[in-house]
């Protein structure tokens, strides 16, 4: 594939992903509403564009990394959107939009001869920086074979199917498990601390036993016990993903009683602690209700 790529969305995830592509030898044309984010990339050799349409007029392949479905739709299909670019042939969406939105955008772009690659990612900011993301890719196999060498610079690449939306379903299932692990582990550790146990000892025991999970192995030792709350993913984004998961499950006719309970905890964290807070601060909601604080 061509070494000239477009990149739209230079936020917490997009900026380090784009930086990795530059480091791998790709030349980027980029767009973001924040001048400082664009400047960080142009200083490394990228070219700034004035709109998504301008990016799509300069390259055949571009990547999107955007925070919510409505923004993805506007960037892809809106006035001065990607769809207006005469050169673009392939759009790789790294965002989390839900399957139905991915299908809607994919169909609209396909009508203009543009292929959508549904490729949400997992692994957080650290994964974006270190190139250890999990990429869940849905697109025609021939296109996947062409894109895989480039995507491997970003992390481990999984082909999950050929239809737009299949990557989104995989991502939402993954994030449901991540959110559930953090919610349940928060309740378990707060319960133990309120009963007199040491939080760090609890985490060690859990990680040596059958209760170990992504929260006990990663988020508690690195972000909660030291009270840094800096995993790199916000409460607002997790609440958005859980809401999307419930909507998609409802449309598929799948009951989600556990997911509903987990989403309710995140709704309260979203409203009482704040959308922009790190999602590990969900433990603070449980702490407030119990009247204790978890520390290492």
Q: Any idea what the CATH number is for the domain that residue 48 is in?
A: 3.40.50.720
Please indicate, yes or no, whether residues 17 and 49 belong to a single structural domain of this protein.
yes
> How do beta strands 90-93 and 27-31 pair?
unpaired
Q: Which residues in the chain come in under a pLDDT of 50?
A: none
pLDDT the model gives residue 225: 97
For the chain, give percent helix, strand, coil, nearest 5. Answer: 55, 15, 30
This prediction has a pTM of 0.92
Please indicate, yes or no, whether residues 271 and 157 belong to a single structural domain of this protein.
no
pLDDT the model gives residue 232: 86
Please indicate, yes or no, whether residues 219 and 134 belong to a single structural domain of this protein.
no
Domain end, chosen from 128, 163, 198, is at: 163
**What span, in angstroms and rounded, lies between the C-alpha atoms of 75 and 64?**
9
Instruction: Tell me, yes or no, whether 296 lies in a domain.
Output: no
Domain count, the chain: 2
Please indicate, yes or no, whether residues 213 and 132 belong to a single structural domain of this protein.
no
Cα end-to-end span (Å), the chain: 49
Domain containing 282 equals 169-290
Q: Which of 147, 132, 153 is nearest to 62 (CA)?
A: 147
pLDDT the model gives residue 107: 96
- Judge contact between 245 and 276, C-beta under 8 A: no
Please indicate, yes or no, whether residues 140 and 185 belong to a single structural domain of this protein.
no
- Judge contact between 3 and 25, C-beta under 8 A: yes
Q: What Rg, from alpha-carbon coordinates, does the chain have?
A: 20
87 assigned to active site: no
pLDDT the model gives residue 295: 87
Please indicate, yes or no, whether residues 32 and 77 belong to a single structural domain of this protein.
yes
Q: Which of 171, 219, 222, 277 is catalytic?
A: 171
pLDDT the model gives residue 65: 98
């Amino acid at each position: 594939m061509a070494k000239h790529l477009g990149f739209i969305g230079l936020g917490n995830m997009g900026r380090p992903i784009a930086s990795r592509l530059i480091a791998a030898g790709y030349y980027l044309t980029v767009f973001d509403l924040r001048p400082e984010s664009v400047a960080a990339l142009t200083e490394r050799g990228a070219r700034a564009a004035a709109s998504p349409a301008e990016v799509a007029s300069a390259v055949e392949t571009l990547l999107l990394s955007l925070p919510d479905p409505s923004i993805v739709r506007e960037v892809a299909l809106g006035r001065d959107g990607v769809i207006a670019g005469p050169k673009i042939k392939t759009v790789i969406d790294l965002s989390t939009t839900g399957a139905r939105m991915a299908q809607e955008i994919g169909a609209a772009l396909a009508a203009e001869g543009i292929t959508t690659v549904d490729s949400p990612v997992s692994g957080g900011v650290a994964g974006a920086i270190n190139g250890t993301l999990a990429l869940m890719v849905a697109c025609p196999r021939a296109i996947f074979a062409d894109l895989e060498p480039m995507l491997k610079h970003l992390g481990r690449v999984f082909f999950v199917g050929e239809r737009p939306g299949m990557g989104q379903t995989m991502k939402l299932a993954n994030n449901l498990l991540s959110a559930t692990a953090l919610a349940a582990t928060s309740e378990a550790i707060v319960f133990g601390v309120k009963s007199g146990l040491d939080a760090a000892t609890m985490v060690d025991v859990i990680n040596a036993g059958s209760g170990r999970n992504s929260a006990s192995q990663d988020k508690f030792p690195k972000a909660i016990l030291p009270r840094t709350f800096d995993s790199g993913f916000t409460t607002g984004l997790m609440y958005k993903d859980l809401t999307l998961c419930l909507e998609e499950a409802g449309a598929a006719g799948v009951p989600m009683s556990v997911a509903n309970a987990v989403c309710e905890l995140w709704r309260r964290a979203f409203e009482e602690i704040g959308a922009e807070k790190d999602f590990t601060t969900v433990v603070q909601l449980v702490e407030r209700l119990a009247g204790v604080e978890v520390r290492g």
